[in-house]
A = this chain, B = another copy of it.
Amino acid sequence: MQVQALAKELHYEPNQTAIFFQQKKTFTIGIVLPELSEAFFSAAISGIEDTANKHNYMVLLGQSHDDESREKKIVEIMKNHRVDGLLVSITKNTADYSHFEMLKHYDIPVVFFDRIPNLTDIHYVACNMQSGTLQAVSLLLEQGHRVIGMINGPEKLIASQQRTSGYQQALQKRRLKFDASLVVSSDLTKEGTRVAMQQLLAHKRKVTAVVAFNDYVSQDAVQYALEQHLEINKDITFVSYANLPLSSYMAYPPIASVEQYPYQQGQKATEILLELLAAPDKTDTFHKITLDSRLVLAPGR
């Protein structure tokens, strides 16, 4: 009792690094994601940070810039910094998952979000693009469009497969048949998207609507269409994904956009990670959370 008083008297403050060391715990979680400048990820971070801070955890940040080797390096450094756990959204190129497997030997749990690897024994939170795509294509069909192009992302991304699947499902519901040549791939660069759009416009059937991989792809495609002297929302209509806050300022925003709930994904992924950290033994049952995406009409539609 007297020592407590004296401690206060002398403004004693414990040395956290000593505590971290002794407790083998740093109250830090690492975030590894591709690109902070994408609105989706900065929103996700807010969800992560808010949840982490609520439980007195801090977040260590690392951007992979969609470069696999950089992703590996960041994971390595974070491992060395002894983060308690990791939240990861993988690169669009990541094919080798050894740097994540390796973490198991160090008892560092990983929860993936949004861009998740194609593995079975992992924890993840993702947004199923199928439901949103189904709604998007259905909307276009209702409006009378019959030749609907899709600019998809890299084929190995699960999110790309889900988009294709949602597209097919919408057609199926109306007993329409699926034409695989209407689904083209973009590497998500401006140039890649322009090539993809060119393919669609060169299709033997006249494409009157396009489902674009995201709002950025949508805008690049719009730009290309304008250069080909097409009139947006008359000759050709766009629907996309992400629902960027800036879309209301855009010259030709998509008529609707599929919301992917970045904040919620970040929040949920963090909650799962914190749960794993609290009960380190029961790491054998895997959390696989899938939120449904949802189509949001542009204001005024």
> B-contacting residues of A (Cβ < 8 Å)?
13, 15-18, 20-21, 24, 26-28, 31, 36-37, 39, 42-43, 45-46, 49, 53, 56, 58-63, 74, 77-78, 80-82, 219, 222-223, 245-246, 249-252
Contact = CB atoms under 8 A, between A and B. Distances in A.
A78 B27 CA distance: 11
A61 B45 contact: yes
A268 to B, nearest CB: 19
B42 A82 contact: no
Q: How many chain copies?
A: 2
A240 to B, nearest CB: 12
A28 B81 contact: yes
Nearest to A31: B61
A24 B17 contact: yes
Contacts of A24: 17
A53 B46 CA distance: 22
A28 B61 contact: no
A213 to B, nearest CB: 15
A42 B49 contact: no
A62 B49 contact: yes
Nearest to A246: B246
A24 B222 CA distance: 55
Given A223-B249, A249-B251, A250-B249, A61 B78 contact: no
